[in-house]
């Protein structure tokens, strides 16, 4: 079920009070929260719940077995088996058809006839997210950074409905310790929770959904529009995916707060970044940290020379691109980001070798770097959005061939949505904190009135119907 729907509101209004009623009895609470999370997940397809349960049992079994042996070879073998099982399940559902189709195309071009091995599978919602969370649990135990918890705690950790289908990607050390002792409802930051939920709803329902209705037809048939419309659509998609994904995670973090739990931040004004490295420290932060800690550093990180560092960056971003979806467009998107990060690292090392300094926090040079970084990110987003490489190339080529066409599709609303979200990227964080401070000081009745007006405006300004969240397909 989607967060901004009446069905979820009813679900949460049942779960929220029961969560606090059962909180003192931790075992009952865990059973209840696991059951609620499975109901939430099974709303898409009950078979997905069986897959989630299987992942829970398998990974807990490997974790316990690993903790009970001191033989390094056996521990390594158990870790390898865990990785193979998890990635095997993920590959079957997400990548089998992609690899088979690619292989058949290559063999067909070489003159070989290969029978079709494509499988008609339904991609389980959020499988990439809970697979990465399960892997972090087992890998942390292998490294000695974490000890196995009980099966009930691990089941709640993996299935906790606020983060289940689209993150944030939570580490066990970030969430499991919060299960004991029970949180105190008197210290729940409801002001921040309601602000996150209301802001996330507005970003998703008003901004992302409205921009989707402008972006989708342009990306679907760019040759029918002017170059200016295509250019605005490229920028609009960058804003749409940010509003869509950050809106979801804002709601997820706010909902978890109302239940008494804190999830890690996932976005920090990424479009204000002055380099691609800074962008990836601000965008989908929990995925960036996961790729760094469980892929880039184990590959060697920057410890084995400059060339090996560049190779490790490219491998990490290529696999990060493939994690997002089974398509060559995601591979190209990952390659572009990897290449950009390599150039970024090379440029910084070159500057440091010459004794240069970082650009000042403000000034023309920094603004120029922000402009270049944002436009590079938008260029890469084209491949992320398009279904085929040829479609992405066609759209980018159309940026140069139809400037004489009229552009009636560009509305004031579209431009305002783009401008408003970009402005929020450059507003000082203290402004939001000050506003929340003022909000927390007013009476509960006034708070309810402000939230009611915000929800009413969201409903009024938002188009009829809510488009699916972009990251649900990953």
Where in the sequence numbering do the catalytic residues fall?
324
| Angle subtended by helix axes 412-426 and 227-258, to nearest 10 | 50
Give dist(CA 193, CA 128) in Å, integer.
26
Task: Quote the CA–CA distance of 396 and 222 in Å, as a whole number.
Answer: 9
Kindly report whether the peptide bond that precedes residue 168 is cis, defined as omega within 30 degrees of 0.
yes
Which residue matches tokens 């705690």? 153
> In whole angstroms, what is the distance from residue 471 CA to residue 128 CA?
10
| DSSP for residue 203 | I
Q: Which two tokens stand for residue 18?
A: 């029961």
| Cα-based distances in Å from 450 to 70, 103, 387 | 58, 57, 41
By C-alpha distance, which of 125, 121, 119 is closest to 48? Answer: 125
As given in the structure block, the two tokens for residue 353 are 């070798």
Asked whether the beta carbons of 347 and 382 are under 8 A apart, the reply is: no
Phi, psi at 70, each rounded to 5° = -105, -5
Contacts with 320 (C-beta within 8 Å, 6 or more apart), sequence order:
287, 291, 295, 334, 337
Rounded Cα–Cα distance for residues 245 and 238 (Å): 11
Asked if 263 contacts 252 with a C-beta cutoff of 8 angstroms, the reply is: yes
Give yes or no for a contact between 176 and 157, defined as CB atoms under 8 angstroms apart: yes
CA–CA separation, 140 vs 143, rounded Å?
5
Q: Please state at what angle helix 26-42 crosses helix 46-67, rounded to 10 degrees.
A: 140
Using CB atoms within 10 Å of the CB of residue 254, give its burial: 0 to 12 exposed, 13 to 18 middle, 19+ buried. buried
Residue given tokens 């085929």 in the structure block? 388
**Quick check: bond before 471 cis, omega within 30?**
no
Residue with tokens 């009829």: 464
CA distance readout (Å), 61 to 57, 79, 92, 112, 130: 6, 11, 21, 43, 16
Q: CA–CA separation, 26 vs 179, rounded Å?
A: 8
CA distance 100 to 108: 12
């Amino acid at each position: 079920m989607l967060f901004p729907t009446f069905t979820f509101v009813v679900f949460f209004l049942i779960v929220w009070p029961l969560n606090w009623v059962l909180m003192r009895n931790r075992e009952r609470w865990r059973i209840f929260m696991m059951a609620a999370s499975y109901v939430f997940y099974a709303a898409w397809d009950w078979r997905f719940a069986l897959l989630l349960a299987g992942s829970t049992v398998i990974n807990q079994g490997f974790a316990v077995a690993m903790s009970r042996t001191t033989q390094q070879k056996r521990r390594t073998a158990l870790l390898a088996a865990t990785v193979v099982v998890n990635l095997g399940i993920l590959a079957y559902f997400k990548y089998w058809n992609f690899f088979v189709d690619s292989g058949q195309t290559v063999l067909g071009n070489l003159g070989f006839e290969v029978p079709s091995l494509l499988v008609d599978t339904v991609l389980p919602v959020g499988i990439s997210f809970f697979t990465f969370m399960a892997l972090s649990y087992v890998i942390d135990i292998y490294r000695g950074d974490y000890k196995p918890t009980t099966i009930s705690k691990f089941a709640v950790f993996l299935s906790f409905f606020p983060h289940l289908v689209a993150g944030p990607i939570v580490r066990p050390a970030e969430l499991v310790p919060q299960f004991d002792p029970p949180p105190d409802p008197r210290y729940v930051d409801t002001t921040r929770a309601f602000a996150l939920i209301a802001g996330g709803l507005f970003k998703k329902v008003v901004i992302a959904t409205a921009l989707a209705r402008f972006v989708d037809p342009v990306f679907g048939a760019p040759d029918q529009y002017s170059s200016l419309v295509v250019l605005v659509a490229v920028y609009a998609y960058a804003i749409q995916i940010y509003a869509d994904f950050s809106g979801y995670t804002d709601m997820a973090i706010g909902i978890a707060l109302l239940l008494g739990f804190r999830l890690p931040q996932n976005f920090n004004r990424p479009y204000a970044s002055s380099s691609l490295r800074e962008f990836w420290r601000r965008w989908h932060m929990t995925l960036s940290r996961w790729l760094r800690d469980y892929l880039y550093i184990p590959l060697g990180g920057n410890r084995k020379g400059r060339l090996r560092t560049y190779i490790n960056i490219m491998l990490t971003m290529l696999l990060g691109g493939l994690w997002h979806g089974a398509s060559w467009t995601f591979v190209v998107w990952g390659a572009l980001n990897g290449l950009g990060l390599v150039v970024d690292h090379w440029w910084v090392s070159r500057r440091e070798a010459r004794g240069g300094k970082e650009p000042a926090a403000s000034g023309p040079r920094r603004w120029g770097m922000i402009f270049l970084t944002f436009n590079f990110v938008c260029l890469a987003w084209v491949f992320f959005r398009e279904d085929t490489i040829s479609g992405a190339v066609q759209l980018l080529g159309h940026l140069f061939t139809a400037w004489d066409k009229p552009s009636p599709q560009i509305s004031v609303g579209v431009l305002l949505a783009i401008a408003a979200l970009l402005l929020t990227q450059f507003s000082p964080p203290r402004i939001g904190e000050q506003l929340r401070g003022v909000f927390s000081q007013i009476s509960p009745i006034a708070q309810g009135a402000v939230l009611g007006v915000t929800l009413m405006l969201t409903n009024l300004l938002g188009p009829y119907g809510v488009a699916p969240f972009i990251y649900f397909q990953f």
